[in-house]
Amino acid sequence: MSQEHNMRRVTAIRNGTVIDHIPAGQSMRVLEMLGINKGTSVPVSLVMNVPSKKMGTKDIIKVEDRELNQNELNRLALVAPDAHVAIIRAYSVAEKLTIELGEEIVNVVRCTFSNCITSNLREPLAHRLKVFSRSPLELRCHYCGRPQDLDELANNVL
Ligand SMILES: [Zn+2]
C-alpha cells in the first residue's frame, strides 16, 4: 500500500502537527504523554493499525492548530522513539522534527516509584531515567534503579 494512500486516510490539515510511524496501538499513550485529552479543544484525528511497509502496522495522529515543542518531543520519545513528526503550515510540511531518545532522559518525567529519593521535596534532584533497553523500551531510575511502569509515565510528566 502506498504512502499516499495512507496519507489520504486522514484529511489534510492546514496547520498543526502530524505524528507518523507510531507503533500500532501506541497512539492512545502518545496522546496521554502529550496531555491531549477531553479538555483539548483543537481537532485531533487518529488512525490506528494502518498498513506500513517498514513497521507492519502503525498509528498516525494529526493535531490541528498546535505545533509540538521540544519538551513535548522529549515526552513523545518515551512512547514512540521512531515516530516522524512534521509541522504543517498552510497545508504543506514546514518542518520535520527528529525525536531523539538518548541514553538518559533528564527532567521529562519523574520516577514512578513514590518512595524514590527524587520524590523527597527536601532533596531537589534532577529526574533522571536511564534507557536500559530501547526495544522493547525499558527505563530505569538513575537513583533507585527500579524499572519504570510505562503505563504510569504519562501521570508522571513534569
Ligand atoms: Zn527512582
Q: How far is the CA of 45 from the centre of ligand 1 (A)?
A: 35
Flag the least confident range among 26-30, 83-87, 104-108, 119-123: 119-123
Which residue range forms the structural domain that includes residue 120? 104-156
Ligand 1 centroid to 115 CA: how many Å? 8
Lowest mean pLDDT among 2-11, 24-33, 110-119: 2-11
Are residues 73 and 139 part of one domain? no
Query: Which CATH number do you get for residue 79?
Result: 3.30.70.140
Transcribe 25-37 into DSSP letters.
Answer: T-HHHHHHHTT-S
**Do 118 and 92 share a structural domain?**
no
Q: Residue 144 maps to which CATH number?
A: 2.30.30.20
62, 80, 97 - which closes a domain: 97
User: Is residue 120 domain-shared with residue 74, that is, in the same domain?
Assistant: no
Do the Cβ atoms of 110 and 47 come closer than 8 Å?
A: no
Specify the pairing of strand 56-64 against strand 84-89: unpaired
82, 97, 112: which is the final residue of a domain? 97
Residue 106 Cα to ligand 1 middle (Å) = 13
The verdict on 110 and 34 lying in the same domain is: no
Distance from the alpha carbon of residue 111 to the mean position of ligand 1, in angstroms = 5
* Domain identity same for 76 and 52: yes
Q: Are residues 53 and 8 in the same domain?
A: yes
Residue 46 confidence (pLDDT): 92
Residue-level pLDDT at 1: 45
Residues 141, 129 contacting (CB under 8 angstroms): yes
pLDDT tops 60 at residue 3: no
Domain tally for the chain? 2
- How far, in Å, is the centroid of ligand 1 from the Cα of 69? 26
Q: Which pLDDT tens digit goes with each residue over 30-82?
A: 999 998 988 889 999 999 999 999 889 999 999 999 999 988 999 999 888 88
Distances (CA, A) of 82 to 55, 72, 98, 122: 10, 15, 9, 37
Within 8 A by CB and 6+ apart from 14, the residues are 64, 88, 90, 91
Each residue of 90-119: pLDDT tens digit? 999 999 998 888 899 999 999 999 899 998
In the prediction, which pLDDT does 121 show? Answer: 78
What is the number of other CB atoms lying within 10 angstroms of the CB of residue 86? 17
